[in-house]
């Protein structure tokens, strides 16, 4: 029995997911609306974007954010996409998908778009990325000078196991 287990060990190790570097860069637009009264979110942001990913090539992405003010003047905000059914959904040209949850802050900068910083966790996928995991940091910017709308760019940088 021990010999059988020892012979199977290299095969089992080969089947385990190995982390690889992951990155995605998206240009996005966001429509921001008031959230339903009594909920945990002040605003809801509906985001769509496109760009490229080290894992998926050209991608489109969409998600919904819960947005809350971090200060009384509502100049700094926290956000997360934990209420979106799949989190952010990166869709590659092949149809394969990666799903991730993220959270972070949107911080004002004088004379420049607001800074986005946060973290993400890969929660699964489809096709080649079924059972994917990983995570890393989110970094970018967003111009929110137009009422109810934002435009920006965001990068996801970290690791992916699949």
Instruction: Write out pLDDT tens, residues 30-58.
Output: 999 999 999 999 999 999 999 999 999 99
Segment 97-124, tens digit of pLDDT: 999 999 999 999 989 999 999 999 999 9
Percentages of the chain per state (helix, strand, coil), in multiples of 5: 10, 60, 30
Contacts of 62 (CB under 8 A, 6+ apart): 46, 47, 48, 49, 88, 89
Domains of the chain: residue spans and CATH: 18-161 (2.40.350)
Is residue 85 very low, low, confident or very high in pLDDT (cuts 50, 70, 90)?
confident
């Amino acid at each position: 029995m021990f010999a059988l287990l020892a012979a199977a060990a290299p095969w089992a190790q080969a089947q385990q997911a190995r982390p690889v570097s992951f990155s995605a860069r998206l240009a996005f637009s966001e429509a921001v609306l008031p959230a339903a009264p009594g909920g945990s979110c002040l605003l809801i942001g509906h985001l769509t974007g496109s760009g490229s990913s080290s894992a998926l090539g050209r991608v489109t992405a969409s998600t919904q954010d819960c947005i809350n003010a971090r200060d009384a003047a509502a100049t700094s905000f926290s956000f997360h996409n934990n209420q979106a059914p799949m989190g952010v959904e990166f869709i590659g040209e092949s149809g394969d998908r990666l799903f991730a949850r993220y959270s972070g802050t949107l911080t004002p900068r004088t004379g420049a778009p607001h800074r986005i910083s946060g973290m993400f966790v890969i929660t699964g996928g489809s096709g080649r990325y079924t059972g994917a995991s990983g995570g890393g940091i989110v970094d970018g910017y967003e111009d929110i000078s137009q009422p109810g709308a934002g435009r920006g760019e965001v990068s996801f940088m970290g690791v992916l196991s699949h």
